Structure 1
Amino acid sequence: MIKTLKRKFKKLSIPQYIALGFAMTILIGGILLSLPIASRSGEWTPFLDALFTATSAVCVTGQVTLNTAAHWNYFGSTVIITLIEIGGLGFMSVIVMFFVFLGKKLSLKQRLILQDAINSEKLSDSQYLIRYIIKFSLTVQLIGAILLSIDFIPRFGLWKGIYFSLFHAISAFCNAGFDLFGNSLEGFTQNPLVILTIGGLIVFGGLGFIVWHDLLHYKKNKKLLMHTKLTLVTTLSILFASFLLFWLSESRNGTFADLPLHLQLVNYLFMAITPRTAGYANVNYAMVSSMGIFVTIILMFIGASSGSTGGGVKVTTVATIFLYVKGKLHDEEPRFQNRKIPKDRVVKSVMIVFIGLMVVIGASLILLITETIPERYGIEYVLVEVFSCFGTVGLTMGLTPDLTAIGKIVLIIVMFAGRIGLLTFFLSFGGRSEPKEPLIRYPEGNLLVG
């Protein structure tokens, strides 16, 4: 029996290894969170709720059916933050840490899985990049925790303040959005230290490890990768545009009317940052304007950068499609700063966006059937939930705690697909990662489109 399982395990494809690794981590986390020692009441937590929480943590989403601050004790919240760290850095990072600690080397198969998991171009760079990712992540998280402790230690006391600082620094950097306050960051709108620190950690985690490695080695290399340049240009453009849109929509809506101008600007900026897969809320989204909700949904679908702790279809995916369309309109090849964009990257980008749309449309249709929408809300009540889970964001208009069993299962699948990547998710069911040469070629046919 064991030998049969080992043979089957060895035959798994790389996408299947990645999907199985995340699934096993989620299952173990769900079992631990369901135990009485994880809840404040000392009672068993329904397994579906525990599994939903574990999925949300590993997939760095932040969507919760149970209030994190009210339901889980220190053991439960420590399990959650551990799952967030594993999910944010990737389960392969943990395996590498374990092998390095034991002084062992990774096998070729493990290095191939590692290369695919972190989107590394070169197999030889993968193990080095993982070590860099771990060092960089822990350093940034520690700096973030120190900054947060300036406010949290006087507010909560020494040990609780340190724990809260570490928890929220890890959660923010990994773009998870879990909080121990009960109402996310709604109570910190007048606290620029906390808002800007959390926002900065979200940006650091969302830019991607490859980008930061490239930036930090710029002085030595004297050049930046095309990926880094495109990521920075697209990220800054989206951030600036969304900041202006939130300023326009929420100033008219009076969302932060009780705050002075400089604090309003800080909170508008945070609203532009957090939908990029982070999920921390500095406002009750039930009170946000219709335009603000629409912009939030778009940002959640786009998500963060490739090779980062965030989800979504990724900024470079959207940028690639934009450059392709722009090139076609001018009868030119798609390019960026005099560099041609490969055709296979364009095709892959279109596939990711198309599949992403199909996933959120399908999930939305199911939830519109199974869930009850309060009278004062419309379709956005469900759409925010679905797009939030797909982009591993964690923002909600209030539906999550009232989800039906079917709704929870659907969103668990959506979060899982959003975290491991759409192509990896579907290839894990047995598809081919590389297209095979067709045995039969068919003649072209005419078709009217547009």
Structure 2
Amino acid sequence: MFGFLSLIAVGTLLIWLFNLSQKPISLINALFTATSAVCVTGLIVVDTGSDLTLMSQVVVMALIQLGGLGIMTAMTIVPFLMGQRIGIRQRFYFIKEKGLEYPSGAVKLLIQILKVTILFEAIGFIPLFIKFSEEMSHKEALFTAAFHSISAFCNAGFSLFSNNLESYSNSFMIPGAIMFLVILGGLGFPFYMEWVSKAKSHKRLSPYAKLVLSTTSMLIIFGFLLILFVEWKGAFVEYNLPLKLWNALFMAVTPRTAGFDTISPSNFSKAGYIIVVLLMIIGASPASTGGGIKTTTAGILWCTVKSNLRGKKPFLFNQSISSDLIVNTTTLITLYLTTIFVSVVLLSLFEPFSFDQILFEVVSALGTVGLSLGITPHLSSAGKLVLVILMFWGRVGLITFMYGVFKKREKENINLPRAYIPIG
């Protein structure tokens, strides 16, 4: 937590200083921008392309990259690249950040993360550079393509264009490259490590990897179909069939913590809002560059409910689900939904916007998504601070935060008698 806070503090100071002489911005706006970048959210209170200087934009890009990798990953990469030995404590912190239990294989995972990040961001950079070169100088296209490639793979949603990617709603290349990066960034680094190891040994994927793939695929497919259906004569009414399909697919992929849009969410119907909010709540996969409650959490919840309704013990791909995992899943979802409820109430007290606008903003911030109905720059200082806290919680993780703040050491474990209480 202190690592993320330190990075946000440094980023805030640099953005504020680099803009001070040419395009001064308030300290609260610098804080909001730095937090949004480190927490790879993408919500903005100042226009990234026009209100920030080039140096501030470079700082934002660096914060996105560091925040997307994870603060402990970034702190482990530095001594690794300098040829220093990585101690057991550093390995433990790094591996825990990725949601794993044991420090064995930490260096291997670190190398894998570096390779995956460089490879995918380089692949995504090429089509972006080609397309941007048609519209601007090669020097400007170079930076713009690099910025958007990093922002997309890290699921940040920051764009150098005032209307995000809405000018490219009639294009296929740029939205396609962005979707490619967003999906790959949201699968999670441990997933790639397992994929490589299992491909070499020709072994089957673990239930974790299968759950990540199946949940991600189902969310994209059902999100695409639902958005296409409800917005066919709404937000997509002016587009031909191929562009309707393409934009519906894009808007099914990016709400899962990326925050890019080719069509403004403010043009969506109420039903469209609800679908996007649900996608934002679920988010990406564990140990990825994205946020939300995570695909595996949603998958475990679905398997538990389905098995319970059938009168069976919870199972997943012919393997049982432990009671500890169910308890952790229930705890996370309860904390997440409670945080959304409390935050909506708080913002409703001192912001003049409608309920759906506030709910959308809160879910977007906590899920580190970055989509907005256009109210972010118009929030009061108190409202911006609420979103800053939500973005921080969403990136660090609610359970991690609560565990770090409230956990007490127990002298002994006591087995209490079971309580049988009727529910439902």
Q: Same fold (TM over 0.5)?
A: yes
- Judged with a 3 Å threshold, the aligned counterparts in structure 2 of structure 1 residues 92 and 444 are, in CA distance, closer, same or farther, namely closer
Is 1:34 aligned to residue 16 of structure 2?
yes
Match of 1:396 in 2: 372
Is 1:24 aligned to residue 6 of structure 2?
yes
Cα distance in 1, alignment partners of residues 410 and 291 from structure 2 = 25
Match of 2:248 in 1: 268
Runs of 5+ unmatched residues, structure 1: 1-18
Alignment of 1:26-425 (within 5 A): 26-35=8-17, 37-38=18-19, 42-222=22-202, 223-253=204-234, 255-373=235-353, 378-425=354-401
Tell me the CA shift for residue 127 of structure 1: 2.1
Counterpart code for 2:9:
L
TM-score, with structure 2 as normaliser = 0.96
Tell me the CA shift for residue 197 of structure 1: 0.6
Indicate if the aligned counterparts of 1:38 and 1:74 stay in contact, CA closer than 8 A.
no
Alignment of 1:430-441 (within 5 A): 430-432=406-408, 437-439=412-414, 441=416
Cα distance in 2, alignment partners of residues 207 and 180 from structure 1 = 25
Cα distance in 1, alignment partners of residues 39 and 96 from structure 2 = 17
Q: Deviation string for 1:421-448 (max 9, x for gaps)?
A: 111111221415x98754473x555534
Tell me the CA shift for residue 279 of structure 1: 0.2
Cα distance in 1, alignment partners of residues 105 and 339 from structure 2 = 33
- Judged with a 3 Å threshold, the aligned counterparts in structure 2 of structure 1 residues 436 and 346 are, in CA distance, closer, same or farther, namely farther
Q: Deviation string for 1:291-350 (max 9, x for gaps)?
A: 110000011111100110000000100110111111111222211121111211111111
Runs of 5+ unmatched residues, structure 2: none
Match of 1:449 in 2: 423
Moved over 6 A (4+): none
Provide the secondary structure at the position in 2 that maps to 1:81. Answer: helix
Indicate if the aligned counterparts of 2:92 and 2:102 stay in contact, CA closer than 8 A.
no
- Judged with a 3 Å threshold, the aligned counterparts in structure 2 of structure 1 residues 252 and 44 are, in CA distance, closer, same or farther, namely closer
Indicate if the aligned counterparts of 1:84 and 1:171 stay in contact, CA closer than 8 A.
yes
Cα distance in 1, alignment partners of residues 137 and 415 from structure 2 = 71
Tell me the CA shift for residue 121 of structure 1: 3.6
Cα distance in 2, alignment partners of residues 292 and 43 from structure 1 = 37
Q: Deviation string for 1:143-187 (max 9, x for gaps)?
A: 101111110112111010010000000000000000001110110
Provide the secondary structure at the position in 2 that maps to 1:309. Answer: coil
Cα distance in 1, alignment partners of residues 301 and 207 from structure 2 = 16
Counterpart code for 2:362:
V
Tell me the CA shift for residue 283 of structure 1: 1.2
Q: Deviation string for 1:125-158 (max 9, x for gaps)?
A: 1221012101110110011011111101121110
Indicate if the aligned counterparts of 1:96 and 1:127 stay in contact, CA closer than 8 A.
no
Counterpart code for 1:34:
W
Cα distance in 1, alignment partners of residues 349 and 238 from structure 2 = 39
Tell me the CA shift for residue 38 of structure 1: 3.1
Match of 1:15 in 2: none
Cα distance in 1, alignment partners of residues 63 and 296 from structure 2 = 27
Which has the larger displacement, 383-392 or 44-53? 44-53
Which has the larger displacement, 174-183 or 222-231? 222-231
Cα distance in 2, alignment partners of residues 435 and 400 from structure 1 = 43
Provide the secondary structure at the position in 1 that maps to 2:49. Answer: helix
Q: How many residues align?
A: 423
Provide the secondary structure at the position in 2 that maps to 1:282. Answer: coil
Counterpart code for 2:361:
E
TM-score, with structure 1 as normaliser = 0.91
Q: Deviation string for 1:89-108 (max 9, x for gaps)?
A: 01222222211222211222
Indicate if the aligned counterparts of 2:188 and 2:285 stay in contact, CA closer than 8 A.
yes
Provide the secondary structure at the position in 2 that maps to 1:321. Answer: helix
Counterpart code for 1:271:
M
Cα distance in 2, alignment partners of residues 370 and 213 from structure 1 = 46
